[in-house]
Structure 1
Amino acid sequence: MSVLPPSLQGWFDARGWSIHPHQRAMLDRAEAPAMMLIAPTGGGKTLAGFLPTLAELAKAPRGGLHTLYISPLKALAADIRRNLTTPISEAGLDIRVEDRTGDTPSSRKKRQRADPPQILLTTPESLALLTSYEDAPRMFAGLQRVVVDEIHALAESKRGDQLMLALARLQALAPGMRRVGLSATVEDPAGIARLLARHPDPCEIIEADPGPDPDIAMLDTEAAPPWSGGGAKHAIPEVLEQVKRHKTTLIFHNTRAQAEIFFHNLWLANEEALPIGIHHGSLDRAQREKVEAAMVAGQLRAIVCTGSLDLGIDWGDVDLVIQVGAPKNVKRLVQRIGRANHRYNAPSKALLVPANRFEVVECVAALQAVRERDLDGEGRGRGPRDVLCQHILIAACAGPFDAGDIYAEMTTAGAYADLTRAEFDDCLDFVATGGYALRAYDQWQRLKQRADGFWQLRDPRSAARIRQNIGTIQDSDTLKVRWRGRGGSTLGEVEEGFAASLTKGDTFLIGGQIVRYEGLRELVVEVTRDPGRKPKIATFMGSKFSTSTQLSQRILRMFEQERWPELPGHTAEWLALQREVSRLPQPGRLLVETFPHDGRQQMVVYGFAGRNAQQTLGLLLTKRMEEMGLAPMGFVATDYATLIWGLDQVVDPAPLFELAALEAGLDDWLAGNAVMKRTFRASATIAGLIERQVGGQRKSGRQATMSSDILYDTLLKYDPDHLLMRITREEAMRGLVDFARIREMSARVGDRIDHVALSRITPLAAPLFLEPGRVPVNGSADERILEEEVTRLLDESGLAQVEQGHVWRVPW
C-alpha cells in the first residue's frame, strides 16, 4: 500500500479527514499505464486524480510539466485551480498550478510554453493548439500523467476524438505518460476505458462506493401539465415554493430559449423579490461570471440554467436541483442531480417537472432508471475523419512528419484503431491538395512531400491560419446583442437567422430581460429596455436533445402494464382511454393509426426513435406517399411519433416502411438538401477546407455559408465521391438525420406493424396536433387542392366545366 508523504498526510490529519478507499486505490495503482475512476459526485474524485501527482512531487520536487489536466469546460479548469491551491499551500508543497484556456492572456500563454508549471489545467482545444508548436517536444518531454475529467462528456462528441488524437501525439513525445479518466456517470465503463487507453493497452477501472440513492421525485402541481409545449408555466407556483424552502436551487432546462421563458415567468411570480439568476451559454461572459460569483458567495436563492452548469463545478451551497422538462437522457439527469448536496455519502435531492402530458410518462420512466442505476448512452462508432484531417494539419504545423509514423500514432487512439492505411492516405491527400476537384486552386495546396519522403507545410506562414481555426466546436452563426448607445454593454448572442427576422420595435427575451430591437449596426444587434410588452423568444443555439433509445424502450415497457399506479390520475386515465379506443404502442411492434380529422386524412406512426429520426421518417414517408399517389400535405414530429396529413387515406401502411425504399429515398433527398449543406459546412470547417478565422477576424455566418454552399454545389456536380462529400453523408446519417435509429426501429419491428383504422382522433395522437414546427409537403396535393377549389368556384359561376381532371378556364 502506498504511503502518503508526511506533508500530505499532515494536511489530511489537520482537517480530521481520512483518505477514501478509491483515493487509496488511485495511489496504489499510480504506475498503471491507464486507469479510470468512477466515483459519485462529491466523492473526492478530482483529488483522487491528483493525489498521485501531489505525492510524487512532494517526494521528488522537480520543475517542468509533470501533469496535464483536461477539462471540457474553461470554468471547470479555473475552479480546479482554485481547489488545488488549498492542499498545495497548506501542505507547504512547492508546486505551481496554472490554467490555460481561450481566456488566458497571450503573455501568460507564451511564458507557459517557455517555462511550464508542474500542473497545467486546460481544454481539448488548447491542448491541440499546444501540440501544433515546434517546441512541443521540449515542453512535453517530461510529462508523467494526463488527467481527463468528466470523460463521459468528452467521449460523446468530436471534442473527445480530437483529445484522444492529441493524447496519441503526447504519448509519442512522452512514452512514459500515464492516463487517468474521471467521471461520475459512465454507462459503459469498458467502452470508455478502451477510448482512454493507448490501443491496445489495457485500462484499469476503479469504481467507488456509489453512496446513497438520490432523493428524487416528481413535483406535485395543482394544475395538470398541458397537452404540449415545453415552458412548464403551470408549475411556477410550486417551483417558487420549493425555492423558498431551500438555500440554493438549480433549475435546469434542456434549451436556452426554454430557460429564458421560465425565468421570465418565474420572475413575474416572484412577489417576494427573492434573488434569482439565469445562466446559459448565449449570455455574455461577464454576465455569466457575475452570476457564478454570486452563487459561490451564497447570494442567490435560485439559478435558472442549462447544460452550462451540468459538470463538476462546485457552485456554492446547492441543496436542491429541479429538472424542468423530461431529461431525455438518464445519464444527463444523474449528472444534474449530483449538483445538489455536493458531499460524499450525502444524498442528492432533485425534483422533476414534466412540461406536458406525455413528459409525465417519460419522467416516471427516468425516475425508475435512476433508482435502478440504469444509465443510458449511444455508441459513438468509428472516429470521424474530418477530425483526423484537422489532426494531420496540426501535426504539419509542428514540423515535418513521416506519414507512416503519424498513421501508426493515430491508430493507437481507440476510436481510430481500425483506421486503414488507405483511409489515412485519402485524408492526407485531401489535406495536401484539396482533393481531385480542388487541386488547381493554390489555397488548398497546403502540404508538400520532400525528397526524403517527409511531409511539411508548403508555406510555413499558413501555420498561423491553421492554428486560428483549430477546434471541433461548431458555433451557430450568432450576432452580439448590445444596449444601444456609445459604450453599451453586451447582453449575449442570438442567432443570425433570428436577428434577420426582426423589425424595429420587435421585442425578445435575453438574460431574463425584455428588450426592444432598434437596429443592426456593424453586425451588432442594438436594443433598448422595454419591460411592458410580450416578447418574442430568441432562437438560441444549443442542442435539442432526443430521448435516448433506452429511455424510449422503458416507456414502451410501461405501456404493457395493466394499470399505472405510479402515474398521476390524469395521465393514467389518458393512457387507459388510448388503450380503450385504439391500442398502446408495444416493444418490438410498430403502431400506425389512421383516421380523418379537420377535413384531411391523418396517419400517426409511433416509432419512439427520437426527434431527429422521427423528423427524417416524416420526410421519407411523405416522399414514399408521393410516389404511391397518396398526396401527403405535411407532417410534424416529436420524440415518440410522426403525424402526417394528406388527401388520401392510407389503407395499407406496410409498403411505406420497406427499409431499402426508405434508404433509396434518403439518398435522393439528401443530395440537394439544406441538411447536407449544413453538415458539409461543419465538416469542411473542422477538416480545414473552410476558415472561420482569418487574420484574427471571424467571418460572418453569411460569408461562411455562401463559400461552403458554393463548394458543396461544385463538389456535388464535379466530384461527388470527394472525401468531404463522403464524410458529409456519414455525419448527416449519424447526427442530424439519425438514420441509424430508423434502421434500429426497422430491425426491432420487422413486419410486425399494427395498423388501427379509426373514425376519429385518438388520445395519444391529440397532443401532436398542438405541436409547433409543422413541415409542409409541396407536392401533388397542392395541385389537387387548387384544382378542386378552382373547379368549385367556376362551377358556382357556371363559367367552366371539368373534363378528365383538367380545368378549362374561361377568361373573366
Structure 2
Amino acid sequence: MTALPASFDAWFAAKGWQVHPHQADMLARADDPATLLIAPTGGGKTLAGFLPSLVELGEAPRPGLHTLYISPLKALAADMRRNLLKPIAEIGLAIRVDDRSGDTSQTRKKAQRADPPHILLTTPESLALLLSYEDAPRMFAGLQRVVVDELHALAESKRGDQLMLLLTRLAALAPGLRRVGLSATVEDPPALARYFHAGGCAVLTADPGPMPDIRMLTAQTPPPWSGGGGRYAIPEVLAEVKKHKTTLIFHNTRAQAEIFFHHLWLANEESLPIGIHHGSLAREAREKVEAAMVAGSLSAIVCTGTLDLGLDWGDVDLVIQVGAPKNVKRLVQRIGRANHRYNAPSKALLLPANRWEVIECQAAIEAVHAHDLDGEPRGPGPRDVLCQHILIRACSGPFDAGALYAEVTQAGPYAALSRAEFDACLDFTATGGYALRAYDRWQRLMQRTDGMWHLRDPRSTQMIRMNLGTIQDSDTVKVRMRGQRANLGEVEEYFAASLVPGDTFLMGGKIVRFESLKEMHVEVSRDRGRKPKVAVFMGTKFSTSTQLSARILDLLHRDDLSALPAHTRDWIRLQAELSHLPRAGRILVESFPYEGRAHSCVYGFAGRGAQQTLGLLLTGRMEEAGLGPLGFVATDYATLIWSLEPMRDPADLLDPEGLRDGLDGWLADNALMKRSFKAAATIAGLTPRNFPGKRANARQATFSTDILYDTLRKYDPHHLLLDITREEAMRGLIGFGRIEDMLARTRARVDHVVTDRVTPFAAPLFLEVGKVPVEGAGAEALIAAEAERLMEEAGLA
C-alpha cells in the first residue's frame, strides 16, 4: 500500500492539510509485521497509525473486527472514538467504531462480542478480559492490525508487560497480525522496539519539530529552602494564566495539586475559571473538567499525571510544571500538551519548589534542549504477571504447556524466559506451590490424560475475571458530602481511619470537615476558612532520575553559573568555601555538631527512595558500631542522620558488602516486603480482592497476605512468590539497585568533611517534614524563623 485513495486525498485537501512524511511512511509499511513510530505530540502520529486501517476498510469493506486500538487511559480511547468518527463521516466510509472500558455498559459489551465493530478502542485490562472468554478465537480470528498508543508509558509498568503477553495470544489467534506502536518520548528506540516485538522491528522517527520554548519562572519571592509546593509564586502564576488562553499547571502528587489549587483559588480575585483534575476525584468531576477544557472555557487546570498523555485538550498554549520534573522524559511529555499542533513550539515554565529544585530545573531545561531523555532500563518480565496470564489462558479453554511457553517467549519482556521458570509459574498457578498444595482453595489447574491443562473448577472463571489486571490501587474510600449521594472523590483508607470528627482536609479544592466513616465512605461537611490537614492521596512520589542527577552534579562544578538565580549562585559558592561540592565520582559526607547532637549528611544523589533506604541501612550499621543513631531525613540528593556520637569512618559504614548484609537483615521482617508480597500475591491470583457482590477491605486483605507471607517464609522460603517479592522490592520499593549503582559509580570513594557548624547544602534538610515538628497556629511563621536561624548558622543569612 503506497498511495492514498482519491477520497482521502480530497479530504486532506478540503482540510488544507498535507500528508506528513511519517504518515506516508506508515502507509507504505502497512504490511510490515511490526512498526514503531516515534513522533512529537501534535505530529499526527495517531492518524498515521490508523491510516492503513481506514484505507484498507475503505477499499475493501468486510464484517468483523479489523483493528484493535489499545491505550493506557480509558479517556484516551473515548477521545479517539470522537476523533475517528469525524473523518470517517466526512470521507463517507462505512466503518463502525466503538470503545470498551470498565465504564462501558454490560449491554454494549455483550453486543461488541456478538457483533464486533470494525475498529475497537480499548485498554489492556479490557483486552485481558476479552481474551479470557471461550469465544475469543471467534472474535479475534479476522483481526488484521493492533495499534498501541503511548507505548512508552505502558512500557514503564506491569500493564505493559501484561499487554505484550496479550499481543502474543492475539498473534496466535490471528496469524499474520500486524502491530503498530505509537510513542512521543523515547530514550532508547531500539530497546523499545525489542520490547514491543521480540527481536525488534522497524522504527520510524518523525521530524521532532521546533525546540520548545522552556524557561524557569522567576518570582519576586525566592523559593523556600525546602518543601514541595509552589505557593510562594502564585502571583506570578496568575499573571501568566491571564496572558494565555489555557494553562495546564502540572504537579507531581495529588496532595500538592490540591494544596496549590486551594491557594490559587483564594488568590484568584478576578474569578478566572480554574479547574482541578487528578485521579482521586470522582469520574463525574473529572469529566466535567475535561468537557470544559475541550470547550475552551477554562483559563487554567491544576493537574497531575492524569493529563500527561495524548488527549487533545483544546487550545492549551502554556504548561507550568510546579516542582522539579524528576524525569526529563516526563517533562517533555508534559511540555507537549502546550500548542498541540505540528511544527508549533510548545511553551513551558518550570517553577522550582525549593532551592535544590532550582538547580534541578535548570539541569532539566538543558537536558530538553540537548534531546537527552532519561529512563531506567527495564528488567525481565515480572513472573507474577505471567502467572495471571496463565490463568487468563486457562479461562478461555484447555491449553498445551509447551505451546503456551513458545507463545509467551514471543513477548519482548519474556523473550529470555527459561522453560524451568515458566514451569515454576505453571506449577504455582496450578497448586499454589509446595507449602500450599495441600489446600483445596489453591488447586486451580489440573492436567488431563492427554497432557492438556484446564481449570479444575470451571466456575472459578468468574473470580479470575473479577481480579484481572496489574494496577494495584491503594485502598481507598469514597468521600461524600453529608446528605448527598454523589461522591466528591476518594482518599486513602488508612488516612480516613486516622481522622477524628472535626478534622479537615482538601478535596477538589474545597476544605471539608470529617464527620464520620459510614459503610465504606467518608461523610464530610463544608468547612470554611480553617487550615486543612493534608489528604494522603494515591499517586507516585517520583525520584530524580540518575541521568538528571548526573547533570545536576555537572552543573554544580561549572565556572559559569549565570544560568542560575543570584541567590542560588551564592548558596553554591558558599558551600564550596565552607565544605566541598558533591562530585560525580565520589560520595560526599559532612559531619558537624548541631544543638548538642552529632550530624552527618551523605550526598549520594541516588533519588529519594534510595536515599531513604540508605538512611535505614546506615543507621542500622551505626547502631551496631555504638554511635547511637537517633533519626534521619532524606531527599533526592542527600540523607541527613543525627546521632549521639559522630561518624568517624563513613567509608567503612558505606562498604558495599556491609550494606548488603544489613539489607538482608532489615528486609527479613520489614513492612515494605509484606506490602510488595501483597501486590505480587494479588496480581498472581493467590489472594483475590474482588468477590461476587463485595470487595475485601484493606484490613482483611493485609491480614490474609501477612499470614501467608509469614507462613511461606517459615515453611517454604524459596517459594516463587517470595522470590518475586524480593525482586520487586529490590527493583522498586526500596531502590537498593540505585544504591548499588551509586557505589559502583563512586567505587565507594568518600570525601569526608568535618566542620564546626551546619553546612549550606545540609541546612535545607533540617527543614524537611519530620525534622521540625511544628503544629498549630503560626506554624508557617515558626518554620520561617527556624529557616532563618539555620541559614544564619550556615552563613547564608
TM range (shorter): over 0.9
Residue 491 (structure 2) aligns with: 494
1:323 aligned to 2:321? yes
Q: For residues 299 and 577 of structure 2, what CA distance do their matches in structure 1 show? A: 46
Residue 242 (structure 2) aligns with: 244
Q: For residues 701 and 24 of structure 2, what CA distance do their matches in structure 1 show? A: 52
Q: For residues 412 and 308 of structure 2, what CA distance do their matches in structure 1 show? A: 26
One-letter amino acid matched to 2:159: R
Q: Indicate conservation of the 8 Å contact 1:636/1:775, yes or no.
A: no
Gaps of at least 5 residues in structure 2 are 774-797
Residue 338 (structure 1) aligns with: 336
Residue number among 300, 308, 327 corresponding to 1:302 in the alignment = 300
TM-aligned CA distance change 1:174 to 1:218, over 3 Å: same
Instruction: Report how far residue 774 of structure 1 moved.
Output: 5.5
Q: Indicate conservation of the 8 Å contact 1:7/1:58, yes or no.
A: no
Residue 599 (structure 2) aligns with: 602
Q: For residues 278 and 702 of structure 1, what CA distance do their matches in structure 2 show? A: 31
Q: Deviations over 1:85-133 (max 9, x none)?
A: 1110100000001001000001111111111111000001111111111
Residue 20 (structure 2) aligns with: 20
One-letter amino acid matched to 1:193: A
- Under a length normalisation based on structure 2, what TM-score does the superposition of the two structures give? 0.96
Instruction: Report how far residue 696 of structure 1 moved.
Output: 3.8
Aligned to 2:81, what secondary structure does the other structure show?
helix
Residue 105 (structure 2) aligns with: 105
Residue 797 (structure 1) aligns with: none
Higher mean C-alpha deviation, range 745-754 or range 300-309: 745-754
Q: For residues 543 and 222 of structure 1, what CA distance do their matches in structure 2 show? A: 31
Residue 769 (structure 2) aligns with: 772
Q: Which entry has the higher C-alpha Rg, 1 or 2?
A: 1
Q: Indicate conservation of the 8 Å contact 1:468/1:696, yes or no.
A: no
Q: For residues 412 and 775 of structure 1, what CA distance do their matches in structure 2 show? A: 54
Instruction: Report how far residue 440 of structure 1 moved.
Output: 1.4
One-letter amino acid matched to 1:229: G
Residue 717 (structure 1) aligns with: 714
One-letter amino acid matched to 2:680: S
Residue 188 (structure 2) aligns with: 188
Q: Deviations over 1:600-650 (max 9, x none)?
A: 101111000001111111111111111111111111111010111100111
Residue 787 (structure 2) aligns with: none
Residue 214 (structure 1) aligns with: 212
Q: Indicate conservation of the 8 Å contact 1:590/1:752, yes or no.
A: yes
- Runs of 4+ that moved beyond 4 A: 773-776
Q: Indicate conservation of the 8 Å contact 2:766/2:772, yes or no.
A: no
Higher mean C-alpha deviation, range 693-702 or range 471-480: 693-702
Residue number among 391, 416, 419 corresponding to 1:393 in the alignment = 391
Residue 751 (structure 2) aligns with: 754
Residue number among 651, 660, 663 corresponding to 1:663 in the alignment = 660
Q: Deviations over 1:221-275 (max 9, x none)?
A: 0000000011211100000000111110000000000000000010010000111
Residue 789 (structure 2) aligns with: none
Q: Deviations over 1:132-167 (max 9, x none)?
A: 111111111111111010000000000000000000
Aligned to 1:537, what secondary structure does the other structure show?
coil
One-letter amino acid matched to 1:584: L
Number of aligned pairs? 773
TM-aligned CA distance change 1:400 to 1:775, over 3 Å: farther
Q: Percent of pairs identical after alignment?
A: 72
1:629 aligned to 2:626? yes
Q: Indicate conservation of the 8 Å contact 2:651/2:749, yes or no.
A: no
One-letter amino acid matched to 2:699: R
Residue 347 (structure 1) aligns with: 345
Residue 680 (structure 2) aligns with: 683
Instruction: Report how far residue 773 of structure 1 moved.
Output: 4.3
Q: For residues 588 and 773 of structure 1, what CA distance do their matches in structure 2 show? A: 31
Q: For residues 122 and 401 of structure 2, what CA distance do their matches in structure 1 show? A: 28
Instruction: Report how far residue 751 of structure 1 moved.
Output: 3.7
Residue 229 (structure 2) aligns with: 231
* Equivalences for residues 27-66 of structure 1 within 5 A: 27-66=27-66
Residue 90 (structure 1) aligns with: 90
- Under a length normalisation based on structure 1, what TM-score does the superposition of the two structures give? 0.94
Q: For residues 217 and 775 of structure 1, what CA distance do their matches in structure 2 show? A: 33
* Equivalences for residues 91-240 of structure 1 within 5 A: 91-197=91-197, 199-200=198-199, 202-240=200-238
Instruction: Report how far residue 13 of structure 1 moved.
Output: 1.6
One-letter amino acid matched to 2:511: I
Residue 791 (structure 1) aligns with: none
Instruction: Report how far residue 562 of structure 1 moved.
Output: 2.3
Q: For residues 173 and 631 of structure 1, what CA distance do their matches in structure 2 show? A: 63
Aligned to 1:467, what secondary structure does the other structure show?
helix
Q: Deviations over 1:358-380 (max 9, x none)?
A: 00000000000011111100011
Q: For residues 514 and 414 of structure 1, what CA distance do their matches in structure 2 show? A: 47
Residue 430 (structure 2) aligns with: 432
One-letter amino acid matched to 2:56: E
1:568 aligned to 2:577? no
One-letter amino acid matched to 2:284: A
One-letter amino acid matched to 2:249: I
Q: For residues 390 and 621 of structure 2, what CA distance do their matches in structure 1 show? A: 42
Instruction: Report how far residue 775 of structure 1 moved.
Output: 12
Q: Deviations over 1:549-594 (max 9, x none)?
A: 0000000111121241100000010000000000100111110111
Q: For residues 509 and 193 of structure 2, what CA distance do their matches in structure 1 show? A: 41
Aligned to 1:281, what secondary structure does the other structure show?
coil
One-letter amino acid matched to 1:31: D
Instruction: Report how far residue 537 of structure 1 moved.
Output: 1.1
Q: For residues 86 and 530 of structure 1, what CA distance do their matches in structure 2 show? A: 46
Aligned to 2:733, what secondary structure does the other structure show?
coil
Residue 801 (structure 1) aligns with: none
Q: For residues 313 and 550 of structure 2, what CA distance do their matches in structure 1 show? A: 35
Residue 790 (structure 2) aligns with: none
Q: For residues 775 and 698 of structure 1, what CA distance do their matches in structure 2 show? A: 40
Residue number among 285, 288, 292 corresponding to 1:287 in the alignment = 285
Q: Indicate conservation of the 8 Å contact 1:392/1:431, yes or no.
A: yes
Residue 511 (structure 1) aligns with: 508
Residue number among 550, 554, 565 corresponding to 1:553 in the alignment = 550
